[in-house]
Amino acid sequence: MAESEHAMPGRAAPVLYYHPLSSYCHKLLIAIDELGADVTLQVINPGDPDERAAHVARWPTGKIPLLMDAGQPVPESSIMIEHLQRHHAAAGRQLIPDDAAAALAVRLWDRLFDLYVMTPMQAFTADLLRPEDQRRPASVAQARSALVSAYDFIDQHLQARAGAGQAWACGDAFSLADCAAAPALFYAVAYEPLAPAHAHLAAYVDRLMDRPSVARTVDQARPWFQYFPGRAGLARRFFDPAST
Ligand SMILES: N[C@@H](CCC(=O)N[C@@H](CS)C(=O)NCC(=O)O)C(=O)O
């Protein structure tokens, strides 16, 4: 990364609007930690009508997380992370490599984790948030099948990576792709546990959970896990780190 792209002295810290339990917000919290970026964290409750209206005024999708930098919205988690790397990262920290081909691979795996793990995982949550008489078993079955297909192709990818001595999703280092993978898989396995055939994926999830930036993100969410609709599937150690 060119030196001129690093955090500029005197520039105000951007503000991240987030919720401690939200999976996409976890992606940002992990990235902020990894980049050593100076970001002001602002919790919002999108379930509160006034807070939601104020948030929609910031950016029309009303999604969290949302970064505001110098009063301007920087939406979409992957774009926020790239923006933070460009303008607010500590010297030498990066999650997207400089090399164009390596950067493309990282962006691809970021997309794959968002679209093929996070999206079906969110479908489970959405269904549990519906009144019981409005649940949609067909949507859940579709989400389950999508998750199992994703586990299969990710496991195969990781098997090939392990054979080449690589621990992370892409390239030689922890990247944007791993920031996307960690919360998506953390919550997905609560709904659809990994099968014995997914041994490489299981080992990768363990490595992700041991990563300090991820462990700190899980720590800050701990008081909120009781409100996660899929809490019955979360391992006990995430509620109580002393238990094994
Ligand atoms: N594509 C968005 C997805 C963000 C997203 O789905 N956020 C969820 C929380 S994890 C959200 O805002 N849900 C509330 C809503 O949709 O109103 C991104 O990458 O930032």
pLDDT in tens, 105-159: 999 999 999 999 999 999 999 999 999 999 999 999 999 999 999 999 999 999 9
Q: What is the pLDDT of residues 157-211, one digit of tens each?
A: 999 999 999 999 999 999 999 999 999 999 999 999 999 999 999 999 999 999 9
**Beta-carbon count within 10 A of 200 CB:** 19
Asked whether 64 lines ligand 1 (CB < 6 A), one says yes
Arithmetic mean of pLDDT over the chain: 95
Overall average pLDDT of the 68-96 stretch: 98
Q: Report the candidate in 126, 182, 191 with the shortest Cα–Cα distance to residue 154.
A: 182
Confidence of residue 243 (pLDDT cuts 50, 70, 90): confident
Per-residue b/e over 161-196, b at no fewer than 16 CB within 10 Å?
beeeeeebbbbeebbbbbbbbbbbbbbbbbbbebee
| 72: β partners | 69
Residue 10: the pLDDT is 64
Residue 4: the pLDDT is 38
Residue 67: the pLDDT is 98
Q: Output the CA 20–ligand 1 centroid distance in Å.
A: 13
The full set of domains in the chain, from first to last, is 3-88 (3.40.30.10), 100-211 (1.20.1050.10)
Asked whether 46 lines ligand 1 (CB < 6 A), one says yes
Asked whether 23 lines ligand 1 (CB < 6 A), one says yes
CB-side neighbour CA atoms (13 Å) of 29: 27
Q: Output the CA 236–ligand 1 centroid distance in Å.
A: 26
Structure tokens at 97: 């490599």
